[in-house]
Amino acid sequence: MTLPLIDVHTHMYLPRYMALLRQRTKVPRVVSRAGGDRLVILPDEEADTSTSAGRPIGGEFHEVSRKLAFMDQHGIAVSVVSPANPWIDFVEPEEAPALAAQLNDDLEAICAGSAGRLLGFGVLPLQRPETCAAELRRIAGHPHMRGVIVGSAGRGKGLDDPDFEPIWKAAADAGLFVFIHPHYGVGHGLFPDTGHAMMLALGFTFETSIAVALLILRGTLQRHPALKLLIAHAGGTLPYLAGRLDSCVKNDISKDFGLAQPPSHYLRQCWFDSISYHPPALAALEAFADPSRIMFGTDHPFFRPHVGDAVLDRTTWPVPEENLQALASLSPARQKAIAYENGLAAFGIALP
């Protein structure tokens, strides 16, 4: 079955941001080598000064035409594009609000020129939380912006940072999505010499899971039932662990979180991308989530097709392929819901 697709998890390094990364001498940075640009962004890549530091990147990381070509190749009708990690986390606080606004305006302009193919999630200057609600309200006036992407670590104090309360209120009031996405990972001192694999597979999903669980336990989703959280990578691990979290909260004699409902109730208020990679995880997500709140995603441009160190430009990409294969384990009606129907409803759009 060939389905039209709405891609809710797809990234771009905007040109203004690429220029910034190229100027930098520390992580995160882009290094130009004879063999091509390399993106050096992960915390454990900081010390690596070799020519093979980070990962090779090409135009698919920052060119709109490459995003559209990828979409055409994979049957993606509309993409909701988000800036990629680590966003503007490293920017000095006094510069962050203006840069966030510029990047959000850049993304709006790109989407406006895409003939309906692109929508956007902007960024927030989390270093200056008191400015974020105003930026959210400003973004809400941009016709192609549908929310913001927020790193699970916040400004280093998690998402349950009390100073973020106005962000949740402003996003809920504006009807904007907040896309929760990891960058720093959890536990990576525990798995040395594992390349990017353990960090991305486990460290990233653990980071997201802790952040969202804390948002729930601190009552954020109880206080803001209209808040639209989209949780990256099929919710990290939470659709699997939600029952255990409920039990651990209910049976913890040492702590009362004061929640009216079990944590899973609030987790079910959230949206999830379908980036689950295999049918068992998709089965759990399907059994757990609100059926209207699971939406297809590709994580483009991460995991370029390759054989060994050679990047292949003329094949389909692995992540959408793996996730479409997992989707095929569901009924045709559920495939349609996840592939595009839920996305159309969530973002108020029609297929172009």
Query: Where do contacts with a copy of itself occur on this chain (CB under 8 A)?
Result: 52, 55-56, 158, 186-187, 190-191, 193-198, 200-202, 205-206, 209-210, 213-214, 217, 233-234, 237, 239-255, 257, 264, 275-281, 283-288, 303, 306, 308-309, 318-319, 322, 326
Rounded to a whole number of angstroms, the minimum distance from the CB of residue 73 to a copy of itself is 18
112 vs 198 by CB, closer to a copy of itself: 198
Rounded to a whole number of angstroms, the minimum distance from the CB of residue 277 to a copy of itself is 3
- Contact (Cβ atoms closer than 8 angstroms) between residue 282 and residue 326: yes
23 vs 50 by CB, closer to a copy of itself: 50
Rounded to a whole number of angstroms, the minimum distance from the CB of residue 198 to a copy of itself is 6
Q: Among candidates 286, 255, 259, 251, which has minimal Cα distance to 272?
A: 286
320 vs 343 by CB, closer to a copy of itself: 320
d(CA 183, CA 25): 19
Rounded to a whole number of angstroms, the minimum distance from the CB of residue 95 to a copy of itself is 27
> How many Cβ atoms from other residues are within 10 Å of residue 315's Cβ?
12
Q: If phi over 0 gives left and psi between -120 and 50 gives alpha, with beta otherwise, what is residue 41?
A: alpha
Give the tokens for residue 321.
């392929």
d(CA 351, CA 75): 12
82 vs 205 by CB, closer to a copy of itself: 205
Query: Helical H runs in the chain?
Result: 15-23, 64-74, 96-112, 132-140, 165-174, 197-198, 204-217, 220-223, 232-235, 238-250, 263-267, 279-288, 318-327, 332-336, 342-347
Beta-carbon contacts of 348 under 8 Å, excluding residues fewer than 6 positions away, are none
Please report, for residues 74, 124, 244, 298, 323, the alpha-carbon distance to residue 319 in angstroms, rounded to integers and kept in the order given: 11, 27, 29, 6, 6
Rounded to a whole number of angstroms, the minimum distance from the CB of residue 289 to a copy of itself is 9
Buried (b) or exposed (e) across 137-164, using 16+ Cβ within 10 A?
Answer: ebbbebebbbbbbbbbbbbeebbbbeeb
Rounded to a whole number of angstroms, the minimum distance from the CB of residue 313 to a copy of itself is 15
33 vs 244 by CB, closer to a copy of itself: 244
37 vs 135 by CB, closer to a copy of itself: 37
118 vs 270 by CB, closer to a copy of itself: 270
Rounded to a whole number of angstroms, the minimum distance from the CB of residue 49 to a copy of itself is 15
